[in-house]
A = this chain, B = another copy of it.
């Protein structure tokens, strides 16, 4: 299993386009279209927010068929909280794409991300779909354009491709994602599309995706907010020609591994690109009494604004890490807790250590920071990615809507 260059069109039979149709005021690409040359098995994971965007609601409905030909996603407008007209607009988006592609409307999945509470400009969307369809291509460049078209406050594009062998066939799994603010477990303002040319049953694909999302996209926290438009969708079109993977196939775990690898890479890119972020932070917990306790601790530490501002300030303030673990709701004895920054132990058995401040500073000056918490309760562990909290986070989010 290896990581290779490329984008969402790397698997066979996938085409992409990204165009600017005027939804973003700055003229950047804002409509992405991804199409498969044949119906693909499809699976998805959606936000658990009780408020749900209209485009996402439609995608959730369509995905139940298990087959899809295309995904259309706009940025610049979330198509959320505008009532029935929003659902009508999502249906129109899907219908326009279905008409172009020549497939049932149920085989088109819709997504939107951006400002909440404003109607979509359907003239712009309609001409955008026409232009995107006309420019659909298999090239890396068109994949990159599709990625750019789903970005909002993202600074870096997020694409990863993984390739492995199965039955002597070459299988490719590719993913693209957007998301920087509002990222949090249970699918924050995060949209990801994964494509693969593997032949696989929809139910098996769903299992692999759900397992991967729980370990990856649901282990990213930028600011603790979760949005109404978040989803991860995977399309598997079988163009690689392998024998269809079912529950009992030997190769199923390989596909699951590849989907998890792509998801891990994309998740780390999302955390690194957190709004205003200057550092990628991984929070690890080992030795917890239960998985639930381990999760509570990584979640509390990764969310803590005090921990995140200390990392921004390159300040080895491990007291804030211990404090966050302490209020996480997890049950543990602080007297059995060690804390490490990178490989430097800064707290032993819940107490301050006289550590090398110069070395600590060097560790915190890196772009990748590891905070490791070792408990002595049991064997459960977990990890989560987050980023530091900077002036720029406040600047970016103080005036997003206007």
Binding site for B on A (CB under 8 A): 47-51, 78, 80-83, 115-118, 181-182, 184, 186, 223-228, 303-306, 309-310, 312-313, 315-320, 322-327, 330-334, 347, 349-352, 389-391, 393-395, 397-402
Chain B residues, Cβ within 8 Å of A391: 391, 394-395
B-side contacts of A51, CB under 8 Å: 322-323, 325-326, 334, 350
Task: Find the residue from A303, A327, A332, A389 having the highest chain B CB count within 10 A.
Answer: A327
- Having A50-B332, A78-B319, one finds 17 other A-B pairs with CB under 8 Å, namely A49-B323, A50-B331, A50-B333, A81-B347, A81-B350, A83-B350, A115-B319, A116-B352, A117-B351, A181-B306, A225-B323, A305-B397, A310-B400, A312-B394, A312-B398, A315-B400, A319-B401
Question: Which residue of chain B lies nearest to A352 when distances are taken between CB atoms in the complex?
Answer: B117
Give complex CA distance A270, B207 in Å: 48
**Chain B: minimal CB distance from A278 (Å):** 11
Q: CA of A322 to CA of B115 in the docked complex: distance in angstroms? A: 13
Most buried by B among A116, A303, A319, A347: A319
Q: Shortest Cβ distance from A313 into chain B, in angstroms?
A: 3
A309 near B351: Cβ-Cβ < 8 Å: no
Chain B positions within 8 Å of A315 at CB level? 398-402
In the assembled complex, the Cα of A8 lies from the Cα of B372 at a distance in Å of 44
**Contact at B393–A394, with CB atoms within 8 Å?**
yes
With A and B bound together, what is the CA distance between A306 and B400 in angstroms? 10
The distance in angstroms between the C-alpha atoms of A305 and B49, with both chains bound, is 17
Cross-chain contact of A225 among B304, B347, B399 (Cβ < 8 A): B304
Q: Are A352 and B118 in contact (CB under 8 A)?
A: yes
Q: Once the chains bind, are A310 and B50 in contact (CB under 8 Å)?
A: no
- Chain B residues contacting A327 (CB-CB under 8 Å) are 47-50, 184, 186, 225-226
Question: A326 to B393, alpha carbons, bound, how many Å?
Answer: 22
Q: Please measure, in the bound complex, the distance between the C-alpha atom of A227 and the C-alpha atom of B325, giving whole angstroms.
A: 10
B326 touches A50 (CB 8 A): yes
A108 to B56 alpha-carbon distance, docked (Å): 60
Q: What is the CB-to-nearest-CB distance from A340 to chain B, in angstroms, rounded to a whole number?
A: 15
Which residues of B are found within 8 Å of A227, using beta-carbon distances?
323
Residues of chain B lying within 8 A (CB to CB) of residue A305: 223-225, 305, 393, 397
The contact sample of 11 A-B pairs, CB cut-off 8 A, is: A49-B323, A50-B330, A81-B352, A116-B319, A117-B319, A225-B324, A306-B397, A309-B397, A310-B397, A313-B397, A393-B394
